[in-house]
Amino acid sequence: MKTQYGHFDDSNREYVITNPKTPFPWINYLGNEDFFGLISNTAGGYNFYKDAKFRRITRYRYNSVPMDNGGRYFYIKDEETIWNPGWKPCKTPLDSYECRHGLNYTRITGVKNNVRASVLHFVPLGVKAELQRLTLTNLSQEAKRLKVFSYTEWCLWNGATDGENFQRNLSTGEVEIEQTDRFTAIYHKTEYKERRNHYAYYTVNAPVQGYDTDREAFVGLYNELSEPQAVLEGRATDSLAHGWSPIASHYLEIELAAGETRDLIFILGYEENPNEEKFAAKAGEITSLGEKDHHIINKVRAHEVINRFATVEAVDAAFAELTALWDELLSKYRVESSDERLNRMVNIWNQYQCMITFCMSRSASFFESGIGRGMGFRDSNQDLVGFVHQIPSRARQRILDIAATQFPDGGCYHQYQPLTKRGNNDIGGGFNDDPLWLIFGTTAYIRETCDFSILDELVPWDNQPGSEVSLMEHLRISFDHVVNNLGPHGLPLIGRADWNDCLNLNCFSMDPNESFQTTGNQTEGSKAESLMIAGLFVYCGRQYVDLCNACNMSAEAARAEQHIQNMNQAVEKYGWDGEWYLRAFDFYGHKIGSKENEEGKIFIESQGWCAMARIGAEQGLPEKALDSAAKWLDSPHGMVLNYPAYTTYHIELGEQSTYPAGYKENGGIFCHNNPWVIIAQTEAGRGNDAWDLYRKIAPAWIEDQDLHKVEPYVYCQMVAGKEAAKPGEGKNSWLTGTAAWNWLTVSQHILGIRPTYEGLLVDPCIPADLKEFKVTRKWRDAEYVITVKNPNGKQHADTPTCLPYAPGKHNSVIIL
Ligand code: BGC
Ligand code: NOJ
């Protein structure tokens, strides 16, 4: 489907944007290891190394007007016309524009007055740098003399203080320039002479006619990025930043004969030096401090990268490696069906988003500033379930990192910083669902890999050396954290909140200066219990029991089983409201999510989790709950989180009731929890219903891009619900558990190819009119090609098939 903004190009695994004026910046991610870049369709965004807060390399302005300001820009001055290949910031109308967002790369191409400028941005594997290959082509019959300026603005490393501590920052900036006959490098070295052992650089593989490193000198005191003084005047000022705002801009004069093409390679990189190797003997570079500078950077490491990528062939080779990596990653699970959009989600975009959420957790997007949240305990455990089949070894390390932030009683920091891997108290704690997600993540890893040895790894509590116990012990304590924190009905106490961070039943906040996520939590005497955690406990508890059985720990399995039975009974006895599962009990023990309530009568989380856990299955409770969810929560864009939404602030409910009706956790369509309902539908054998809801949420089926607003190729966290002003409007794209959950849903529950300890289970639950599909699944060191045929229009098989694990290649045909 071509729209006024663009279209999918599945053969190249790209989304092609053909109009720069998208309803919101449509972004992509560069890098999938340690060096990252966010890049919008107009080349806006920024770079960082590992941690968007502590190692921010380039500056970005949030809340800007217009919204996406700052990035890596190229200005082309062709006679009196100044333009950018990505349209912004000059916004000179282009003769043609195209942005191709692919898997960890973006290629932006603009044509103006018979000059084509195409920029390929990507981060080579194993390299701490973004490469920018600028290809200029003279499409005319005459020679062209172009003036080309690069531009990027340095961030003073700490993304948080960079935006607030101006009294210091405006005096600290320092740079160096290095000019050789092969390249021109601008180095950013603020604070390098003291405690930092890292620097950044921006180079071009050519001598230049000038450069700028001071923002005011380049942009001009009263100008904007759309009209930089230096570009208007057609020359660089060779400015040296002394404090204020250091930037990096190269100025090149380029002559192109008719039809000629020229490539320039720019490298925006980051390096660290060991403390004893920080400084070079003086080498005549130009520095901010001039002759007085005793602190010339030892540039050996940057030079290695600069030398390596001096030629187009080297850049092409690195790009081919990246493409090969994605070929390999995407070959682990591949579907072929008659539905192009299903294939697109499964084979490309959903898996790609899972990689990005694995790398970023909830840290850096155009909705997450990168200075607030880092790696969430629950978030990262969920993310790795969508990623574990791609690179199991990285998932393994992540599990150990997450577990190491746990406390001895099983409780957790809600998040940790990617750079330090230490728990971050500023973001809060005491969410009583958190520990269970460790079971969820770890068991998914072992089912995928059969690597039981991870359970013997010694993992500390709260990163304290000497406190190490086995990962298996962490799992036991995680399970017991719920057992040890039961409320008056025998249901799990909620703590600060459960999966719904905004259901703050113990905060009682009346101070707008407090964050609901960190404010004092009055759990003393609280009766606040969560049915969501109850369902999660039964579901993950069974995973724990299965694991114990697989490890021949039958006594522990039996002990856990007993607690699960107790929880089942507690839910059936106190958690059923007649037609659906209650959501919670508040501090005083009053019902939440009950027909007795005026607003917030029914919630999706407890329907999803208790139905997935099949609580009360003998009495048909899951099916009744699913019917009720369909009746009260469903809408053309998916199921809302709760209905009716709250219209007033409830001090006893917290942040949820702060949101306007229909948004976020108050009646928004939280794409993250729709898959819980879909999975529960598949468990109830309702393939048609599951498919209908899946398609409402999955981006490949979204038709109205103006309404949806955010990227059409990835899931967003929330779509405005039916009580909102603009139902169907999407927000918070990219970093959401929606990616992993929808991956789990479509790959393991709808298409139904599910790894278990015993073998690969084939248990599809599909729409009756899907006649056939084929999945190629590389699992452990085996490859299974599974063809599912559905000649009689069924929704599922009478009994699932288990394909036992055996190395090698296997072909199976399953007839429903
Ligand atoms: C948001 C939640 C989020 C929480 C994290 C809240 O404001 O609504 O979606 O999980 O902040 O801190
Ligand atoms: C987003 C958070 O990242 C996640 O942890 C939470 O579960 C949901 N919002 C719901 O509040």
Residue-level pLDDT at 428:
79
- Examine the pLDDT at 636 and tell me if it is beyond 90: yes
Angle, alpha carbons 630-635-638 (nearest 5°)? 85
Considering only CA atoms, which residue is closest to atom 11 of ligand 1? 501
Residues 317-330 pLDDT 10s: 999 999 999 999 99
Contact 601, 594 (CB under 8 A): yes
Of 113, 73, 42, 121, the closest CA to residue 227 belongs to: 73
Residue-level pLDDT at 425:
81
- How many A from CA of 625 to the centre of ligand 1? 26
Residue-level pLDDT at 763:
98
Q: Is 664 in the pocket of ligand 1 (CB under 6 A)?
A: yes
- Examine the pLDDT at 333 and tell me if it is beyond 80: yes
> Which ligand 1 atom sits nearest the alpha carbon of residue 427?
12
Contact 228, 220 (CB under 8 A): yes
Residues 345-357 pLDDT 10s: 999 999 999 999 9
- What would the mean pLDDT of 160-187 be, rounded to a whole number? 97
Half-sphere exposure of 546 (CA within 13 A, CB side): 16
Contact 559, 553 (CB under 8 A): no
Of 690, 683, 694, 687, the closest CA to residue 623 belongs to: 683
> Which ligand 1 atom sits nearest the alpha carbon of residue 665?
8
Mean pLDDT of the chain: 97
- What would the mean pLDDT of 635-648 be, rounded to a whole number? 98
- How many A from CA of 371 to the centre of ligand 2? 17
For residue 172, the SS3 value is helix
- How many A from CA of 662 to the centre of ligand 1? 15
Ligand nearest to the CA of 735: 2
773 band by pLDDT with thresholds 50, 70 and 90: very high
Ligand nearest to the CA of 362: 2
Which of 502, 507, 670 to probe ligand 1 with, by most ligand atoms within 8 A of CB?
A: 502
> Which ligand 1 atom sits nearest the alpha carbon of residue 732?
9
Residues 231-283 pLDDT 10s: 999 999 999 999 999 999 999 999 999 999 999 999 999 999 999 999 997 76
Q: Is 517 in the pocket of ligand 1 (CB under 6 A)?
A: yes
Ligand nearest to the CA of 500: 2
Q: What is the pTM of this model?
A: 0.98
Residue-level pLDDT at 281:
78
* pLDDT > 70 fraction of the chain, expressed in percent and rounded: 100
- How many A from CA of 402 to the centre of ligand 2? 17
Ligand nearest to the CA of 375: 2
Q: Is 40 in the pocket of ligand 1 (CB under 6 A)?
A: no
Ligand nearest to the CA of 736: 2
Q: Is 383 in the pocket of ligand 2 (CB under 6 A)?
A: no
Q: Is 501 in the pocket of ligand 2 (CB under 6 A)?
A: yes
Query: What is the spatial distance between Cα 43 and Cα 386, in angstroms, rounded to a whole number?
Result: 28
Considering only CA atoms, which residue is closest to atom 10 of ligand 2? 500
Query: What is the spatial distance between Cα 504 and Cα 502, in angstroms, rounded to a whole number?
Result: 5
Considering only CA atoms, which residue is closest to atom 5 of ligand 1? 501
> Which ligand 2 atom sits nearest the alpha carbon of residue 670?
10
373 band by pLDDT with thresholds 50, 70 and 90: confident
Q: Phi and psi of 386, rounded to 5°? A: -85, -10
List the catalytic residue out of 68, 78, 501, 577: 501
Ligand nearest to the CA of 360: 2
Angle, alpha carbons 295-300-301 (nearest 5°)? 110
Contact 697, 668 (CB under 8 A): no
Q: Is 372 in the pocket of ligand 2 (CB under 6 A)?
A: no
- How many A from CA of 501 to the centre of ligand 1? 6
- Examine the pLDDT at 402 and tell me if it is beyond 80: yes
Residues 527-546 pLDDT 10s: 999 999 999 999 999 999 99
Q: Is 378 in the pocket of ligand 2 (CB under 6 A)?
A: yes
How many other C-beta atoms are found inside a 10 Å radius of the C-beta of residue 792?
Answer: 9
- What would the mean pLDDT of 384-398 be, rounded to a whole number? 98
Q: Is 22 in the pocket of ligand 1 (CB under 6 A)?
A: no
Residue-level pLDDT at 290:
81
Q: Is 665 in the pocket of ligand 2 (CB under 6 A)?
A: yes
- How many A from CA of 516 to the centre of ligand 1? 9
Q: Is 362 in the pocket of ligand 1 (CB under 6 A)?
A: no
Q: Is 50 in the pocket of ligand 2 (CB under 6 A)?
A: no
- How many A from CA of 303 to the centre of ligand 1? 43
The contacts found for 508-511 with CB under 8 angstroms, 24 or more apart, are: 508/587, 508/651, 508/652, 509/651, 509/654, 510/651
Q: Is 379 in the pocket of ligand 1 (CB under 6 A)?
A: no
Considering only CA atoms, which residue is closest to atom 4 of ligand 1? 501
- What would the mean pLDDT of 494-508 be, rounded to a whole number? 97
Q: Is 501 in the pocket of ligand 1 (CB under 6 A)?
A: yes
Residue-level pLDDT at 193:
94
- Examine the pLDDT at 291 and tell me if it is beyond 80: no
- How many A from CA of 657 to the centre of ligand 1? 13
Query: What is the spatial distance between Cα 625 and Cα 17, in angstroms, rounded to a whole number?
Result: 42
Residue-level pLDDT at 434:
97
- Examine the pLDDT at 284 and tell me if it is beyond 80: no
Ligand nearest to the CA of 501: 2
- How many A from CA of 744 to the centre of ligand 2? 18
> Which ligand 2 atom sits nearest the alpha carbon of residue 378?
5
- Examine the pLDDT at 427 and tell me if it is beyond 90: no
Residues 460-477 pLDDT 10s: 999 999 999 999 999 999
436 band by pLDDT with thresholds 50, 70 and 90: very high
Q: Is 379 in the pocket of ligand 2 (CB under 6 A)?
A: yes
Query: CA 731 from chain center: how many Å?
Result: 14
Q: Which residue has the tokens 């039961």?
A: 486
Q: Is 447 in the pocket of ligand 2 (CB under 6 A)?
A: no
Which of 382, 496, 504, 517 to probe ligand 1 with, by most ligand atoms within 8 A of CB?
A: 517
- What would the mean pLDDT of 38-54 be, rounded to a whole number? 98
Considering only CA atoms, which residue is closest to atom 7 of ligand 2? 499
Which of 367, 368, 379, 536 to probe ligand 2 with, by most ligand atoms within 8 A of CB?
A: 379
**H-helix or E-strand containing 629?**
helix 621-632
- What would the mean pLDDT of 171-197 be, rounded to a whole number? 97
Residue-level pLDDT at 287:
85
- Examine the pLDDT at 424 and tell me if it is beyond 90: no
Considering only CA atoms, which residue is closest to atom 5 of ligand 2? 379
Query: What is the spatial distance between Cα 633 and Cα 693, in angstroms, rounded to a whole number?
Result: 12
- How many A from CA of 502 to the centre of ligand 1? 6
704 catalytic residue (yes or no): no
Residues 693-708 pLDDT 10s: 999 999 999 999 999 9
- How many A from CA of 97 to the centre of ligand 2? 37
Pairing label, strands 772-779, 759-762: unpaired
Residue-level pLDDT at 545:
98
> Which ligand 2 atom sits nearest the alpha carbon of residue 414?
5
Residue-level pLDDT at 292:
81
- How many A from CA of 717 to the centre of ligand 1? 11
The 10 Å CB-count burial string (b at 16+, else e) for 353-389 is bbbbbbbbbbbbbbbbbbbbbbbbbbbbbbbbbbbbb
Which of 361, 501, 666 to probe ligand 1 with, by most ligand atoms within 8 A of CB?
A: 501
Q: Which residue has the tokens 């108290």?
A: 425
- How many A from CA of 460 to the centre of ligand 2? 26
